[in-house]
Structure 1
Amino acid sequence: MSATGVLADVETASSASTLKNSQAYQDAKSSGGYESWVAYPVDTSLEFDRFVSDYAVNRVPIHVSFRHLVHWIKGERASHYIHPYPAKLLAHIAHFFLAARKHVPRGAVVLDPFSGSGTVALEAILAGNIAYWSDVNPLARAITKAKITRLNIVDLEGILARLRRRYNEAKDVSPPEVVNIELWYSEGTIDRLARLRSAIAREAEGDVADLLWVTFSGVARTSSRADPRFSVPVRRKAGIVARGRPLEDDPDVWAMFEQALRVNSSRISSLGVEHGLGANGCVGDDARSLRDPVDLQSELPVASVDLIITSPPYAGAQKYIRSSSLSIGWLGMASVRQMKELDSKSIGRERFSKDFLGNFAETGMPEADAFIRRIAEKNPMRAAVVYSYLAEMKDVFTESKRVLRPGGCMVMIVGNNTICGENFETSEYMKLLALRSSFEIRLELVDTIKGRGLMTARNKTSAVITREWVLVFERRPDESGQ
């Protein structure tokens, strides 16, 4: 990040200007909140500059603990916990970079092309920035929107009473298409979820309904027979329950929903006490083809983004669509067939047609090509996973370069994982792709992952990612100097 800050002297593009002029943004600004920084009490610029200076001299990754660096964040924060999501980004990481006020002034446009559950977007608006976000997973987009929308439910009791009346009155409601529904739910739970879904569907569309649906999504997963320790649905074994929940095959769906809605309503209401919240906009569903948030039929304008903070998918390590399959089905976002189409659009996916297997084009990275050849000898499908992942991440870097202003930075959080028993050095390949896409490497930080949130199988030693690399790339000016 340049000393002049991510905005420098460059004007933001029209879409950002439109969001800055939005009523929500102006209301926040006129509240006087721009004189305070409640959600961001500490400026991390000096610490960031020290890391950059040390890296420039030594050129070796610096080991850190973001929990210690951002020690003022403890426990729940705003609406981060509104909905579970696999491999959620640690909020402390996004916060550290956004709190470097010398480099990221308020009003900067911050993009996360792989938004997941909206961690970066929430931290960005809390910092008074404009948040752009994108994700192929429709559930991720729904969670992000609900999480970052300022909402004060003044008549929560009235809403609950209305929903409960409809829930009790509903009879013989058919459930939507949910993959293997009878495997994951008892007959009674299916009936109760279907009646609750019907009750919510009669609410008027809008921000309140969005929160109701996201809350319902969480209940649909929690009330299932899926093992709560794993993101991908796996039938729980006897005695395995969610923390604080008794073991029951026929849970009280209404009670679970009512409790969850009260908690989520409180979480969302906390945004109301934060002054100077930034505006936000969804920029599509494909990190390789970002859209204008004001007009999704048009491209996101060139050089309209000041800072990118993102944690892209891992190569075959997380099954995001499958992890969300129960919620996607209950929310009616996609049929089983359509979920397969969603998965085929996901970067890092695991399945390809036989026609795709075999001879792969050169990636331009000799180390990667050698790795792919070795894996192909063991498992052609896994080789396809690696090849496709690198090819598609190359497109992500190309698009990121297009929308990021010269001198702007991309902060990328990745983890190295294992494929066919061999270490896949994701961080090294991302650095190579960055260099080939007109980015300079400014900083490498390494943090230890607490807990086992990135475990991807029931086996306790399977695919456990224990460290994250936080890479900071700076977008070089074009040859023309523009």
Structure 2
Amino acid sequence: MIEVLRTPLHLETGKESVVERSLKLDDRNRTDLSFDLLITQLVEQYDLERAPIEVNFREIVPFGPGVDRATHLTHTYPAKLLLNIPLFLCNNSIFSKKGGLVYDPFCGSGTVLVEAMLSGRSAFGADANPLARLIAKVKTTHLDRAKLEVALNAVLAAVDGRSKQKFSPVVKLEKWFLPTTSEDLSKLLAAIRRTCTGDVLDFMEVCFSACLRQLSLADPRLSVPVRVKADKLEDRVKGFGSPAQVFERYVRSNIERSQRIKDTSSCIGFGDDARTGHMALEKLSRRADLIITSPPYAGAQKYIRSSSISLGWLGLVPDNKLRKLEGLNIGREHFHKSDYDDASYLNLFGAEEEIERIRALYPLRAHIAATYIHEMEQAARSMVSALKTGGHLALVIGDNHICGKPFTTSSYIKRIFESLGLRVKLEMVDTIKSRGLMTKRNRTANSIDREHVIIFEK
């Protein structure tokens, strides 16, 4: 073990490390970082041992959970990547240079993209969830403070009883909101759409979405919506203030965050599918110097269901059918019995025997896992096409359980990239504290507690 991994030296100020005291705003938003020496040491150690190296990214980059850095806290999102990881991977001259392009084909709400921009790289993202793309776009777009304040005042002045915005019926509105709250939210969203356009409209809609969970009857501790079981639901919601008041608080906080990316590099665009992201980059005549991504797990996480309340209010679901949107996502869970009754599972990069074991116990879960591997191969091909020769790809992925036994997802996906000609340059393993979504299923899985960070070179 390299000694520097055990001591949080990298952001120390004097004798007191950042991890031992409250972070000041200047510390949280530092961009003058370099991990070249540490990465060189890690690569040398991996070359000698050819085994995953235990690390602790919370010590390497001693920012605690929930640190208000740049625009990361603009909006909650399930299973967000620990920002310490992309911060570490972007701030060096070994995996990419300043001015290069960082691509995340499973970008979620944009954690990698924000850190790429802060490090002086351009960014490009892709995600199948339209809410994720909207949040990521807002987090990577600087807007003038005065312009946003004028827009906020216009929105608040336009809220009245004449105009309302209907909720798209993707879930039951009455289950998640009190009638008075729903009425006020419909007026607020109508005012936003009547007074705002372009990037300002996107910003205001993200702020509107950000306040929904607080105003809803959903348990705030859980990402996938579960109605709060309490006697005084109405008092809980009313204690936060009116929807307009909650919205105003979110807007003012996010205006401050938006100013922190004023002098960073840019986000050059978005794709809507990891399997075709290389085509979107080709249209821009660009290839990535560095890809950093954390793919979804096979059936372990419900990104679309977690976003359902916001998706409904913003009208982002095709034909108002969540299943249709879920079908666009790798790692989805819903299949018809006819999809897997006579399915054959071949070319699964070493997972064939494990899939057959699962199939004997639970045919649906076997089909979910096999489909996941096949579709991840498609995504991997796209990533390799998007990457420059000599470029690097950082894969952040964990191993979960299916039907009570370990399913070594990381090894199967690693083999996919190796089969496409990429060489493993470094592999690290870190313990997961929390990724924000329940990854434990009653009968079919256990929690994911370790993540592999595998660095490939093309």
- TM-score normalized by the length of structure 1: 0.83
Match of residue 10 from structure 1? none
Residues 446 and 468, structure 1, Cα contact 8 Å, conserved in 2: yes
Q: Equivalents in 2 of 1:187, 1:383: separation in Å?
A: 42
Q: Quick one: which amino acid aligns to residue 145 of structure 2?
A: I
Change in 2 beyond 3 A, CA 1:81/1:463: farther
- Secondary structure of the residue aligned to 1:470 is strand
Q: Equivalents in 1 of 2:349, 2:325: separation in Å?
A: 31
Q: Quick one: which amino acid aligns to residue 45 of structure 1?
A: D
User: Alignment partner for residue 216 of structure 2, among 218, 224, 229?
Assistant: 224
Change in 2 beyond 3 A, CA 1:78/1:455: same
Match of residue 269 from structure 2? 282
- 2:34 aligned with 1:43, yes or no? yes
- Secondary structure of the residue aligned to 1:469 is strand
Match of residue 55 from structure 1? 46
User: Alignment partner for residue 167 of structure 1, among 153, 159, 165?
Assistant: 159
Q: Equivalents in 1 of 2:419, 2:287: separation in Å?
A: 21
Change in 2 beyond 3 A, CA 1:386/1:144: same
User: Alignment partner for residue 213 of structure 1, among 202, 205, 217?
Assistant: 205
Q: Quick one: which amino acid aligns to residue 290 of structure 1?
A: G
**Alpha-carbon distance, 1:78 to partner:** 0.5
**Alpha-carbon distance, 1:89 to partner:** 0.5
Q: Equivalents in 2 of 1:92, 1:442: separation in Å?
A: 20
Match of residue 171 from structure 2? 179
Residues 232 and 456, structure 1, Cα contact 8 Å, conserved in 2: no
**1:85-131 per-position Cα deviation (integer Å, ceiling 9, x unaligned):** 00000111001111112442111111000000100110111111110
- Secondary structure of the residue aligned to 1:168 is coil
Residues 397 and 451, structure 2, Cα contact 8 Å, conserved in 1: yes
Q: How does 1:25-424 map to 2 (within 5 A)?
A: 39-71=30-62, 75-170=67-162, 174-238=166-230, 247-248=236-237, 252-272=242-262, 275=263, 277-290=264-277, 304-335=287-318, 337-365=320-348, 367-424=350-407
**1:29-81 per-position Cα deviation (integer Å, ceiling 9, x unaligned):** xxxxxxxxx74222101101111111111111111111111126882100001
**Alpha-carbon distance, 1:282 to partner:** 2.4
- Secondary structure of the residue aligned to 2:347 is coil
Q: Equivalents in 2 of 1:246, 1:79: separation in Å?
A: 31
Q: Equivalents in 2 of 1:169, 1:180: separation in Å?
A: 23
Change in 2 beyond 3 A, CA 1:61/1:282: same
**Alpha-carbon distance, 1:364 to partner:** 2.5
- Secondary structure of the residue aligned to 1:412 is strand
Q: Quick one: which amino acid aligns to residue 37 of structure 2?
A: L
Aligned-residue Cα RMSD (Å) equals 2.5
- TM-score normalized by the length of structure 2: 0.87
Give the length in aligned residue pairs: 427
Higher mean alpha-carbon deviation, 408-417 vs 364-373, is at: 364-373
Residues 214 and 237, structure 2, Cα contact 8 Å, conserved in 1: no
Residues 347 and 392, structure 1, Cα contact 8 Å, conserved in 2: yes
Residues 91 and 119, structure 1, Cα contact 8 Å, conserved in 2: yes
Residues 164 and 190, structure 2, Cα contact 8 Å, conserved in 1: no
User: Alignment partner for residue 468 of structure 1, among 451, 454, 458?
Assistant: 451
Higher mean alpha-carbon deviation, 440-449 vs 381-390, is at: 440-449
Q: Quick one: which amino acid aligns to residue 62 of structure 2?
A: H
Change in 2 beyond 3 A, CA 1:172/1:308: closer
**1:184-226 per-position Cα deviation (integer Å, ceiling 9, x unaligned):** 1111111011111101011232222111000001112221111
Residues 403 and 445, structure 2, Cα contact 8 Å, conserved in 1: no
Q: Quick one: which amino acid aligns to residue 420 of structure 2?
A: S
Higher mean alpha-carbon deviation, 342-351 vs 200-209, is at: 200-209
**1:315-349 per-position Cα deviation (integer Å, ceiling 9, x unaligned):** 01111111111111101112564432211110000
**Alpha-carbon distance, 1:455 to partner:** 2.2
**Alpha-carbon distance, 1:171 to partner:** 5.7
Higher mean alpha-carbon deviation, 437-446 vs 117-126, is at: 437-446
Q: Equivalents in 2 of 1:452, 1:228: separation in Å?
A: 15
**1:135-169 per-position Cα deviation (integer Å, ceiling 9, x unaligned):** 00000000000001011221555433322222134
- Secondary structure of the residue aligned to 2:289 is strand
- Secondary structure of the residue aligned to 1:78 is coil
Residues 230 and 457, structure 1, Cα contact 8 Å, conserved in 2: no
**Alpha-carbon distance, 1:468 to partner:** 1.2
Q: Quick one: which amino acid aligns to residue 329 of structure 2?
A: S
Q: Equivalents in 2 of 1:310, 1:239: separation in Å?
A: 42
Residues 188 and 250, structure 1, Cα contact 8 Å, conserved in 2: no
Q: Quick one: which amino acid aligns to residue 272 of structure 2?
A: D
